[in-house]
A and B are shown apart, each in its own frame.
Chain A
Amino acid sequence: MVEEEGFRRYIAHAILWIGIAIVAFPVYIAIVASTQDNALIANGQMSLLPGGHFFEVYYQTIFVGTSGSTREPVGNMMLNSLVMALAIAIGKIAISIISAYAIVYFRFPFRMPIFWIIFITLMLPVEVRIYPTYKIVADLHMLDSYAGLALPLIASATATLLFRQFFMTVPDELLEASRIDGAGPLRFFWDTLLPLSRTNMAALFVILFILGWNQYLWPLLITTRDDMQTIQVGIRKMITTTDALTEWPIVMATAVLAMLPPVFVVVVMQKLFVRGLVETEK
């Protein structure tokens, strides 16, 4: 690397800190607002320093919800989001890893057509087929259910392709050695392939969890009951069109709570996150 003289290095540091400030500022404001009194905020008199209402605001947010008639504790919304995100991440990994295994390690009639049927789903996110999908989920009586929330979002090929790609890099000799060691297809999968896929599974899990937690349009459509709301849908419903009624500290506390799990995952499992992100985009 070309050594930079001191002055340029200070500029680089300065630009990075400005970048970090820009990136962090909206969240800082949210945290500050979630500790203040609603009346001050509504008047446009919000302070840029944290207020003293931290505990009461968060307590009300998590266990009670807004003061309106259709209130729903955010704690419950978070639980719904968690179940949905886990169902999407685990479900997708589970069905993808076994189908990728079949496609890579077996030769059977219709193997390629099946691969293409799965592969094409890569191209179309749920948004473009939203109403027909809604109708099917309604016909299957899965509105307002965790299955209805998760299943349509599991129907995609990214994970299958990722596992397929990984399996192709596993040396053939491992399978041959396993065959000589007396391991059949299921035993090879369980004893060798699954342990070797651990890092890939973990990286994929991190990404899928974040994507699942952050789903919005689909849950918005198929949840009608308040107790099935996810936190992303819940926060939108808290912003009323008449500004006067919006309880901004609670909205902001909800925003902070909605960010917390995925941001925590990104920061703590950064390595897996980066790996998962780069791998799934291939």
Chain B
Amino acid sequence: MQKQAIFQSKLLPYALVAPQLAIVLIFFYWPALQAVIQSFLLQDAFGLSTTFVWFDNYVELFRDPAYFASILRTFFFSFAIAVLSLSFALLLAVMADKPLRGVMLYRTLLIWPYAVAPPVVGVLWIFMLHPSLGVLARYLRALGIDWNPLLDGDQAAALIILAAAWKQISYNFLFFLAGLQAIPKSVFEAAAIDGARPMRRFWTVTFPLLSPTIFFLLVVNIVYAFFDTFGIIDTMTRGGPGTSTVTLVYKVYSDGLLGGNLGSSAAQSVILMVLVIVLTAIQFRFVERKVTY
């Protein structure tokens, strides 16, 4: 944790940590504390008086079927995005890990979507699949599918999952490739000598050796789906149709926008915080073996 060789100084270290400490306290701890306190309070309709209501805000939230539905929806989105994106990225990474010509070119051509912002991802995909003017929507209709994500909740959900998974491909690809390249090539050679065919080699050698990376990416992708899908949802569906694409983060945002129940909005924030802390703890606890590049 600390060096043996250090400097002696009474005031300098405090001066050095002061800027970060100030910013963290003002813009992190203070609001987080506010959220926790707020979540135990109930404000009257005119914002004139507040009463301490213990866990009423939380109880009410969990009684609300809409909130419950958004929890389930968020987890469903997260898993769907993670599985879809991880499997496609793994396929590409396994191909790119082969001794092919132009691997660096492939890598470059596959990693740049990382840099595309979520709202832009949303705009790109809604434009392609817009029911009245999207170029892909034409083909879907030609196939006889009644495609209208602006009216059909399931189709809207599918659209969001597709777009979000698309954005994550590059990130997952990069880490999978790094993980694959960290596996000593002699292991594959030994497996080949042991008579394992390529498909069998993948499932008995590559996949188990890659499992720390897979687990790490699973957690990261779920956290990503919690937060970064906000921009995609907001530009594509704004939570609609109805509430069929409202995730937890989107709900915090939209409930707050309506400006109604501060206590409930704060309670939602606190629940989100707890969820993220649990996910991060899992990540720290189990993902000890890091990807080496």
Chain A residues engaging chain B, CB cutoff 8 angstroms: 1-4, 8-9, 12-13, 15-16, 19-20, 22-27, 29-30, 33, 41-44, 46, 48, 94-96, 98-99, 101-108, 111, 114, 117-118, 121-125, 127-133, 135-137, 151-152, 154-157, 160, 167-168, 172-173, 175-176, 184-186, 188, 210, 213-214, 216-217, 220, 232-233, 235-236, 239, 243, 248, 251-252, 255, 258-259, 262-263, 265-267, 270, 273-275, 277-278, 281-282
Of A124, A137, A167, A216, the contact of B230 (CB 8 Å cutoff): A216
A-B contact pairs, 6 of them (CB 8 A): A2-B188, A107-B6, A135-B31, A186-B12, A243-B132, A278-B291
B159 to chain A, nearest CB (A): 12
Q: Does B246 sit within 8 A of A, measured CB to CB?
A: no
List, in ascending order, chain B residues with CB within 8 A of A167's CB.
Answer: 3
Of B40-48, B58-66, B71-79, B120-128, the segment with at least 4 beta carbons within 8 Å of chain A is B120-128
Known: A118-B21, A131-B269. 14 other contacts (CB 8 A): A1-B98, A2-B188, A16-B92, A23-B169, A105-B3, A125-B276, A130-B253, A184-B7, A216-B230, A248-B127, A255-B120, A258-B120, A259-B116, A259-B117
**Size of interface on B: residues with Cβ below 8 Å to A:** 102
Of residues 1 through 39 on chain B, the ones whose CB sits less than 8 Å from some CB of chain A are: 2-7, 9-10, 12-14, 16-17, 19-21, 23-32, 34-35, 38
Residue picked from A106, A168, A213, most chain B C-beta under 10 Å:
A106
B92 to chain A, nearest CB (A): 4
Majority secondary structure of chain A interface residues (helix, strand, loop or mixed): helix
Majority secondary structure of chain B interface residues (helix, strand, loop or mixed): helix
B137 to chain A, nearest CB (A): 8
Chain B residues engaging chain A, CB cutoff 8 angstroms: 2-7, 9-10, 12-14, 16-17, 19-21, 23-32, 34-35, 38, 88, 91-92, 95-96, 98-100, 106-121, 123-128, 130, 132-135, 137-138, 166, 169-171, 174-175, 178, 185, 188-189, 192, 198, 201, 216, 220, 227, 230-231, 234-235, 249, 252-253, 256, 262, 265-266, 269, 272-273, 276-277, 280, 290-291, 293
